[in-house]
Structures are given as structure tokens and as C-alpha cells.
Structure 1
Amino acid sequence: MNTGNISERLKQRRTELCLSQSAVAKSAGITQQSVQAIEAGETKRPRHIVEISLALKCAPEYLLYGTKAPKQSS
């Protein structure tokens, strides 16, 4: 279980999937600047967490709290 914060978990998961901030943003229907703000720690509770988790193929709880390990990418 990852004990970091949402910014660290989002960036780690994005990197594991070889996705850019822009790719995650486009898939989640938000701006790249929104993804950057989360990764920079400026946004602690993003409104579009469900959409972001779908883009990153993981549970929202994983991004928010570090629970429920992300699904393995195929």
C-alpha cells in the first residue's frame, strides 16, 4: 500500500502507465493544468476524482487514501 499523498500516487500511477499529464487530462475531461495542480500538491480533493481514476485504471480510493491497490495494466 502506498502511504504517500494523492499527488504522489497520481504521478506514480500516471508514470506506471506511461501517460502524460495531457493524456490523463484528455481522458478525464479536465485540463492538463488541473492534473499538474494535483501533482504539485495544490489540489488536495479534486472534483473529478472518479474520471481521473478511470483514466488511470485504478480505484478513486487508491488515489485519495492509498487503499485498494491499482489494477494491473494490461
Structure 2
Amino acid sequence: MESISQRLKRKREEMNLSQSQLAELVGMTQQSLQAIEAGLTKRPRYIFELSSALHCDPHWLLYGENQNSDLIGHGA
């Protein structure tokens, strides 16, 4: 089962973003993003900003659920 750190890193890499690029988009430090990807932070406070920047559902990013609704704002 994937963790938040694995899902975050996979989505970031799919979008061809570096840690520093994503951190800047979200308004957090690269070190904070690195801590999430390293598994040191389990419930980041920037979860909604991260999911918005990565075009994915925040619930999926946190828990790995609702994977089919991965684009925010593109539903009915």
C-alpha cells in the first residue's frame, strides 16, 4: 500500500516538477516538502495546496482513496 510520501512523489514526478518547484507553487519550503516525501510528516498542513498544484484529490493524496476523481474541478 502506498503512503502519502509515495503518492506525493509519484504525482510530482509525473508532472515533471522538482521539489523546489512544487514547494514554490504551494508556498512552502523545499525542506518541508522533502520531509513529507521522506515520510517524516504524515499529515501536512498544506494538503489542499499540494493537491491543487498536483491536480489530485486531497483525500486520495492523504489516504489513497478516491483515485478515480483525480482532477479537481473537472467533474459534473
Say whether the fold is shared (TM-score over 0.5).
Answer: yes
**Alignment-mate amino acid for residue 17 of structure 1:** M
Q: Partners in 1 of 2:45 and 2:57 — Cα distance? A: 15
Any stretches of 5+ residues in structure 1 without a counterpart?
none
> Counterpart amino acid of 2:50?
I
**What stretches of structure 2 of length at least 5 have no aligned partner?**
72-76
Runs of at least 4 residues off by over 4 Å: none
- The residue that corresponds to 1:32 in the other structure is 30
- Counterpart of 1:65 (choices 58, 63, 66) is 63
Amino acid at match of 1:29: G
How many residues were matched structurally?
A: 69
Q: Which amino acid aligns with 2:39?
A: G
Aligned to 1:43: 41
Aligned to 2:2: 4
**Per-residue displacement from partner, 1:8-35 (whole Å, max 9, x unpaired)?**
0000010111111111101111011111
The 3-state SS of whatever aligns with 1:57 is coil
Amino acid at match of 1:45: R
Q: SS of 2:42's equivalent?
A: coil
Task: Give the distance between the partners of 2:17 and 2:56, measured in 1 at CA.
Answer: 14
Calculate percent identity across the aligned residue pairs.
57
What is the TM-score with the length of structure 2 in the denominator?
0.85
Report which structure shows greater RCO (CA 8 Å, sep ≥6). 1
